Amino acid sequence: ILPTDRFGQMMIENLRARGLELRGLHAYPTLQSNSQRFLDLGWHSAVAVDLATYHEQLLEPLERERLAKIEFLDEWEEFILLAQHYAFTFAFTSQSSHFAHMDIEKPN
């Protein structure tokens, strides 16, 4: 997500230099557009969350500690910047939310 900011543009150029293209990136550049994509296709509910938010709000503290021991990062700010450009979209077709326990805000 976020292909138009400076970091997003750099990521796109790095991928392009390796012959890779994220074809849906410009069509769905935000968390809200990723959620809306599923809603427009008839899904009952959808919520997108970036990897930074997922890491900070949804992972259990013990899991964050375990991951920190496995992958030590010299620059935490760099990880956050990178993680803000990747997203998960959770969507479902049933009336009950399988993701209600995740306590993340749905986009407007």
Query: Can you give the pLDDT at residue 86?
Result: 95
Task: Output the six-digit token pair for 54.
Answer: 């997922």
Asked whether 80 and 53 are in contact (CB, 8 A), the reply is no
Length of the chain measured in residues: 108
Query: Can you give the pLDDT at residue 108?
Result: 38
Query: Can you give the pLDDT at residue 101?
Result: 62
Residues 57, 100, 35, 31, Cα dihedral to 10°: -10
pTM exceeds 0.85 for this model = no
Task: Print pLDDT tens along the chain (108 aa).
Answer: 999 999 999 999 999 999 999 999 999 999 999 999 999 999 998 999 999 999 999 899 999 888 888 877 778 888 899 999 999 999 988 876 666 666 665 443
Query: Can you give the pLDDT at residue 106?
Result: 44
Query: Can you give the pLDDT at residue 73?
Result: 73
Residue 32 gets the label, from left (phi > 0), alpha (psi -120 to 50) or beta, of alpha
Asked whether 106 and 53 are in contact (CB, 8 A), the reply is no
A 10 A CB-CB count for 38 gives 19
